[in-house]
Structure 1
Amino acid sequence: MKLCIFGAGAIGAYLGACLTAGGRDEVVLVARGTRCAAMRGDGVRIQRAGRAAQAVAVACTDSPRSLPTQDVVFLTTKAHDAPSAAHEVAALLGPETTVVTAMNGVPWWYFADLTGPHRGATLRSVDPGGILKDAILASRVVGAVVWTAATMVEPGVVQVREAMRLALGEPSGADTERLRHIRAALEATGVEVVTTRDIRAEVWLKLWGNLAFNPVSVLTRATLSGIARDPGGRAAVRAMMVEAEAVAHALGVRFPVDVDQRISMAEGIGPHPTSSLQDLDAGKAVELAALSGAVLEMAALVGVATPTLALVHGLAQLRVRDIVPQANVGAITSR
């Protein structure tokens, strides 16, 4: 298969290196600037504690429109970059191309096939103007949730603290041939993959931590374990997560763990900075809109009060705008 990793940051580069090293498929990464130049010249260099660095030669381009039609496109951009990439992604799609969305936060297709009164709703926090909805049909999408702890410490160099695990699922919940093919391609590289009939629940399980830890880390500059082990930090994220759980319940989602177990999952990763803190420290836009911002928008949709989440999100917005004035952090409010 022809596989494209669109957005080769830490997660995309790590995934692309794994798929390339597997040698089974034709893989190309899409990146920009110094990242693309570094990966073209030196490949993706993966660093793991206690192990020698691994360099994987990869195909990388900064001109996606020069690529042929792909069989599968893994969309691994930051959530706030996805709308601006939508038309370049669309140019890679043939009649049977699948788009695997592997980004943090609430995906734009969340309400596309959802039964109930909110079916077809568009979240402006993640898809302003419906750009993604129009460019990439929900029928093409396979949802993915990536569990790992990885940081791009310099262009093309990915530091990995936790091995990659992916959850894959059709938004419809169906067990399809394309889902099985994508799983097989990933498993052939040694990546741990599970498939689920409820990918939205898996999205929520990861989001549940991100929507709290990410904005709190922006305000405090604390790591995952640092927040979880501090009484004030833990109390803040716990209050936010309790409110978010009520939103999830209103949308029919139930979590397989309780709030304290989910906090412990984040704590167990150790002194790892959240992706939002990494971006803030690098002077980049921060994806709060797709995390806490999207949940606030969903809360308003279902009529659930989220005062703590709204307060912390608003303060995190203020801090990001002070440091990165051009950042899009999502001006979403709730009761």
Structure 2
Amino acid sequence: MKRICIYGLGAVGGLMAARLAAAGVAVNAVARGPTLAAIQSNGIELRETISGRSVITRHALNAAEAPAELGVQDLVVLAVKTTGMQQVAAEIGPLLGKHTTVLSAMNGVPWWFLHGMDPELARIGLNTVDPQRVISQAIDPASVIGCVTHLSAAAPAPGVVQHVAGHRLIMGEPMGAVPGPRCEQTMNVFRTAGFEVEPADSIQREIWFKLWGNMTVNPISALTGATGDLIMADDLVRAFMSRCMLEAAAIGRRIGLPIEVDPEERHAVTSQLGAFRTSMLQDAEAGKPLELDALVAAVVEIARQLQIPTPQIDTLLGLARLKARVAGMY
């Protein structure tokens, strides 16, 4: 894979681009506004802590606003907010060729989620994340490799990315458990950049498990303005989160993605993160659109079509969506 493009230079996309460039990979990138200007002027700045020492490096990227300026790529990494995917679908065409692989590294339920799963599930629509299937028509699900990120990064300024913690990426093809050649190639690309890359037996199961925790703490943080430690310390809130998670686990069992963990076990892991600010809280504080559709509404949509009751998740979605609408973020 010689032609690699990172679509979106936020925290995760910026970290991937900087790490790849540091490993000697010629990286293309799609960016806009102040981020594009900063990259074109100074490259991307990577801030890391290595052996207890703060290290800052800069790396050149070939960045452009229009995908047509970059041409067909071997690998396109989608690291954008899910709220921007319809615009991406309208613009991404020039990057995609017959053999282009698309790595989907985003939060929540993606447009291709049901691709390759039980044929019975094909009748389920995902209009919340792929209205009128416009994204599926622009980006063929068969070209996709899913990626679940287990790391933390921040973008404190345009063209600057701060690695906070973790290096783990889980990748897999929606169609099966055994990584094919293009998945192996993609994993190797990121291994050369210092990421800990693991193949997934089922990438959808990995996505659902990560969603299982994020779908509650993220919208609750946006509703309340609370950091993770305060959310987890409130017994009533924690119990409400558990009830939502039990409903999501029931959906998971129905679609072949069982979760063999008790909500309290997941809460204990979240509690260890301390006073962290979720990505949705950061978006809410910045007045950006909230990823409620991919993290919560898609779960409700799947449940409705399978006739699985979700009164707790419904309440969470209704309150968070109303809050976001009033603030002009939905």
User: What TM-score, normalized by structure 1, do the two folds share?
Assistant: 0.92
Asked if structure 2 preserves the Cα contact closer than 8 Å seen for 1:6 and 1:76, the reply is yes
Alignment-derived partner of residue 222 in structure 1 = 226
Q: Write out per-residue CA displacement over residues 227-247 of structure 1, whole angstroms, 9 at most, x where no aligned residue.
A: 122223322222211111111
Percent of counterpart pairs with the same letter? 37
How far, CA to CA, are the matches of 1:159 and 1:230 in structure 2? 30
User: What TM-score, normalized by structure 2, do the two folds share?
Assistant: 0.94
Correspondences of 1:139-158 after superposition (within 5 Å):
139-158=142-161
Q: Write out per-residue CA displacement over residues 43-70 of structure 1, whole angstroms, 9 at most, x where no aligned residue.
A: 3333346532423323122222211210
* Corresponding position: 1:61 with 2:64: yes
Q: Secondary structure at the match of 2:99?
A: strand
Alignment-derived partner of residue 4 in structure 1 = 5
Alpha carbons of 1:78 and 1:261: their partners in 2 closer, same or farther (altered >3 Å)? same
* Corresponding position: 1:231 with 2:235: yes
1:252 alignment partner, one of 256, 261, 268:
256
Asked if structure 2 preserves the Cα contact closer than 8 Å seen for 1:9 and 1:152, the reply is yes
Aligned length: 325
How far, CA to CA, are the matches of 1:236 and 1:44 in structure 2? 41
Q: Secondary structure at the match of 1:108?
A: coil
AA of the residue aligned to 2:40: R
Which one is further off, 203-212 or 252-261?
252-261
- Following TM superposition, by how much is the alpha carbon of 1:210 offset from its aligned partner in structure 2, in angstroms? 1.2
Asked if structure 2 preserves the Cα contact closer than 8 Å seen for 1:13 and 1:29, the reply is no
- Following TM superposition, by how much is the alpha carbon of 1:256 offset from its aligned partner in structure 2, in angstroms? 4.7
Which one is further off, 157-166 or 314-323?
157-166
Alignment-derived partner of residue 134 in structure 2 = 131
- Following TM superposition, by how much is the alpha carbon of 1:27 offset from its aligned partner in structure 2, in angstroms? 1.0
Which one is further off, 88-97 or 39-48?
39-48
Alpha carbons of 1:95 and 1:290: their partners in 2 closer, same or farther (altered >3 Å)? same
Q: Secondary structure at the match of 1:145?
A: strand
| Runs (5+) with no aligned partner, structure 2 | none
Asked if structure 2 preserves the Cα contact closer than 8 Å seen for 1:14 and 1:44, the reply is no
Q: Secondary structure at the match of 2:287?
A: coil
Alignment-derived partner of residue 51 in structure 1 = 53
Alpha carbons of 1:268 and 1:158: their partners in 2 closer, same or farther (altered >3 Å)? farther
Alignment-derived partner of residue 294 in structure 1 = 298
Asked if structure 1 preserves the Cα contact closer than 8 Å seen for 2:102 and 2:143, the reply is yes
* Corresponding position: 1:18 with 2:19: yes
Alignment-derived partner of residue 333 in structure 1 = none
- Following TM superposition, by how much is the alpha carbon of 1:160 offset from its aligned partner in structure 2, in angstroms? 2.9
Q: Secondary structure at the match of 1:119?
A: helix
How far, CA to CA, are the matches of 2:240 and 2:163 in structure 1? 28
Alpha carbons of 1:258 and 1:40: their partners in 2 closer, same or farther (altered >3 Å)? farther
AA of the residue aligned to 1:100: L
Q: Secondary structure at the match of 1:87?
A: helix
- Following TM superposition, by how much is the alpha carbon of 1:159 offset from its aligned partner in structure 2, in angstroms? 3.0
Asked if structure 2 preserves the Cα contact closer than 8 Å seen for 1:276 and 1:287, the reply is yes
Correspondences of 1:76-225 after superposition (within 5 Å):
76-119=79-122, 121-173=124-176, 174-225=178-229
AA of the residue aligned to 2:186: I
Alignment-derived partner of residue 30 in structure 2 = 30
Asked if structure 1 preserves the Cα contact closer than 8 Å seen for 2:115 and 2:175, the reply is no
- Following TM superposition, by how much is the alpha carbon of 1:121 offset from its aligned partner in structure 2, in angstroms? 3.4
AA of the residue aligned to 1:224: G
AA of the residue aligned to 2:311: P
Alignment-derived partner of residue 40 in structure 1 = 40
Q: Secondary structure at the match of 1:94?
A: coil
How far, CA to CA, are the matches of 1:129 and 1:43 in structure 2? 38
Alpha carbons of 1:58 and 1:223: their partners in 2 closer, same or farther (altered >3 Å)? farther
Structure 1 runs, 4 residues or longer, greater than 4 Å off: none
- Following TM superposition, by how much is the alpha carbon of 1:120 offset from its aligned partner in structure 2, in angstroms? 5.3
